[in-house]
Amino acid sequence: MSLLTIIFVIILVFLLWFIFSYNGLVTLKNRAKEAWSDIDVQLKRRYDLIPNLVETVKGYAQHEKSVLEEVTKARTTAMANHEAGDLKKIAEAENSLSSTLKTLFAVAENYPDLKASQNFLELQREIRDTEDKIQAARRFYNSNVRDLNTKIETFPSMIIAKIFHFQPMDFFDIAGEQREPVSVKF
């Protein structure tokens, strides 16, 4: 083999590595964006279900007004933060909303007629299903962010990431106080 052939092969290998590394970073970034979009869809579904749930409970639990107001306020805050686009604020607001929904369901346990209402049971099932989907979407998002961040931070792909300004993404996690069990007081 001539020296020129060896140099050509080395350049070709380097070029192929460069292309595959760049394409891998782009793929991971797009997967993370897609995963965020999945969370977005489930959060929208939750936002749409909550007013129906609140109205159903309102008819049975007139004196539980503060709980209903907390749920409505948490929903409004979550929607506002969602539109602002700050991931940390979205995560905090969504976790707060989840907590208030748990409180609402706990309060509903005190009303046998409400628990037996077909409308309430269906809404409760829909919310529970949506919460499960949100959790699955969060896990999927976080795994994609983990893969992207790992590729950005490991050698040699970190060279390509720095050249093309790929930035690590934030995980969708919960704040310390959100890790505590929900306390329900009657």
> How many domains would you assign to the chain?
1
CATH code of 142's domain:
1.20.1440.20
**Which position has the higher pLDDT, 73 or 32?**
32
Q: Is the pLDDT of residue 186 over 50?
A: no
Decide if 162 is inside a domain. Answer: yes
pTM score above 0.75:
no
For residue range 13-28, what is the model confidence (pLDDT) as tens digits? Answer: 999 999 999 999 999 9
- Cα(165)–Cα(89) distance, integer angstroms: 24
Q: How far apart are the first and last CA of the chain?
A: 84
Is 61's pLDDT higher than 70? no
Q: Does residue 146 sit within a domain?
A: yes
**pLDDT band (50, 70, 90) for residue 63:** low
Question: For residues 31 and 59, is the Cβ–Cβ distance under 8 A?
Answer: no
pLDDT value at 179 more than 70: no
Residue 141 lies in a domain: yes
Stretch 144-155: mean pLDDT: 95
Q: Are 169 and 145 in contact (CB under 8 A)?
A: yes
**60 in any annotated domain:** yes
Tell me whether residue 186 is in a domain: no
Residue type (1 letter), 105: F
Is 10 within a domain? no
Tell me: pLDDT of 32 over 90. yes
Quote the tokens at residue 113.
Answer: 């007629």
Exposed/middle/buried for 144, CB within 10 Å: 0-12, 13-18, 19+? buried
Is 131 part of a structural domain of the chain? yes
Angstrom distances, CA of residue 171 to CA of 39, 45, 107? 12, 22, 32
Percentage, residues of the chain above pLDDT 90: 39
Residue 61 lies in a domain: yes
State pLDDT tens for residues 47-59: 888 888 877 777 6
Domain that holds residue 160: 24-179
Q: Is 155 helix (H, G, I), strand (E, B) or coil?
A: coil
Q: Which of 95-104, 119-128, 140-149, 171-180 has the lowest mean pLDDT?
A: 171-180
| Residue 109 CB contacts under 8 Å (≥ 6 apart), including other chains | 115
Task: Give per-residue pLDDT as tens, 88-134.
Answer: 788 888 888 888 888 777 777 777 766 667 777 788 888 889 889 99
